[in-house]
Structure formats: C-alpha cells, structure tokens
Amino acid sequence: MFKTIRKYAHLYGMFIKNCLIAQMEFRGNFMMSLLVESVYLLAKLLYVLVVFRTDLHVDGIPPEGLLLFIGMHTVVTGIYVGLFFTNFTKIPEYIKDGSLDLMLTKPVSLQFMASLRYVDLALPIPDILVGFVMIGIGWHAMDIPLTLLQLAGFMLLLLVSVVITYCLMIIPALLSFWFVQTGSASEIAHSAWDANNFPMAIYPAWVRRIGTFAIPLFLITNFGPLFLLGQLSWLYAGLALAGSLLLFTVIRLIWKQAVKGYSSASS
C-alpha cells in the first residue's frame, strides 16, 4: 500500500512539475491569470467590507467570526480552481474526442489520470493566500486559542472540505459518460458553490438538512469555522471525515460503472 501511495505521489509531483514548466513558457499568461484572479478577489474583499460596515451578525456570530467562513470558502475555492477545475472541464472533451482511449492504456488509475492530470499554479495563489489571511484575522479577533489540537482539527476539516469538493464538483463531468451536454449541470454546481460562503444558519432548516446530509455542500465551508468557534465537537468532525470517505467511495464506484459503459469514440 505504501509503495502504491509513493508511486502516485511521485507521479503527481511530475504532473505539477510539467504544468509549472508549461506555464513558465508563457509568463505573460501566468501573470495575467494572477491579475484576473486578484481582481476577482478584490470584489470579494469589497463584499467583506460591506459585512463589516453593516456590523452583520449571523446566528450570534459577529463580522470577525464571519471572516472564518468567508476565508474558508476562499481557500477551498483556490484549491478547487488550482487542482480540479481544469481537469473536470476536460473530462467531457476526453470522452467526445476519444482521448480517454489513450488514458485507458496507462498502467495507473484512469480516474487519477483524468481528474488530476493538470494543475493550475497561477489562479489559486491569491485565493489561498488571502483566504488564510482572513482565517488568521478571524481566529485572532475571536480569541480562539492557537493550540495543536485546534490546528489539527481545523486541518482535518479542511481535508474533508477538499475531498467533498472533489466528489461533488466531478459529478457534472461524470454525467458526460451518459449525456452529450452537461453544461447546465456544471452551472448549477457552480451556482450552489457560490452560495456557500456564509454560515448555513442563514438558510431555512430544511435547506440546512439537505446541504448537510443529502448533498453535503455546507460541510465544505461551515464545519471548519464551526469547530474553531466551539460549535462543532470532535465527534461530528470524525463523522464528517467518515462521510467524506463514504462519498468518495460512492463516486469511485460510479466512475467504475461509467467506464464499464464507455464506448470508444474511435471505434
């Protein structure tokens, strides 16, 4: 098992290295990507400024505490854009033009190759940096103790957020195995994603239940900050981890079933 993990870690390192070399060949595009994402991030910071000016409280959480939620959403957005977005948009193309046929011949997991092959090293930098700054400011302003236990719990829930993000946002790409056009599903997924940058307490109880247990979108942004604020126990953190692993297993099974029914575009 450790040999397999080491093999895939080395392969992923090669993916990152090759993507970095490719992006550095066109430094102008790299810098432009940084600029565009920074402008987008500036718009979000203006939104944060409005939250502070209006002294908005959500379920008893002051604006300083809301920074934890907005920062968490910003960090995970950067990770999603950097690691997953490009790959997920390419999967329908692989299916349509037959590129998936070549990947099937590789001695590694097809899902690994198709969903993690490309890494964007420009777009996520502003989001991840600014997101962690917002989390740090909110952490300090709310007088949350910076202990190893608190940090470990938060990093665990950040990992859970990344796993759930992968599982939920790959679903429109998986639909491409059965449907020709899945653009509408992607738009719905991204619209739901953008609505997740605030505490889930702003939504009705039935929406919270769906977003926690049926489609665990709220786990991505909410569970880490709630843990820091003392509103989420280690038990629920463990259940969130178990739930994310279960969701990944389901997505893995769906992927295998989809590949079984895949008809080569070149045959």
Q: Is pLDDT at 169 greater than 90 in this prediction?
A: yes
Measure the CA–CA gap between 68 and 13, rounded to whole angstroms. 31
Measure the CA–CA gap between 175 and 173, rounded to whole angstroms. 5
Residue 138 tokens, joined: 């909110």
Which residues have C-beta within 8 Å of that of residue 58, sequence separation ≥ 6? 66, 198, 199, 201, 202
pTM for the complete prediction? 0.92
pLDDT in tens, 207-256: 999 999 889 999 999 999 999 999 999 999 999 999 999 999 999 999 99
What is residue 207's predicted lDDT score, i.e. its pLDDT? 92
pLDDT band for position 267 (50/70/90)? low
What is residue 128's predicted lDDT score, i.e. its pLDDT? 92
Packing angle, helices 183-194 and 148-169, rounded to 10: 160
pLDDT band for position 132 (50/70/90)? very high
pLDDT in tens, 32-71: 777 877 777 787 777 788 777 788 888 889 989 999 999 9
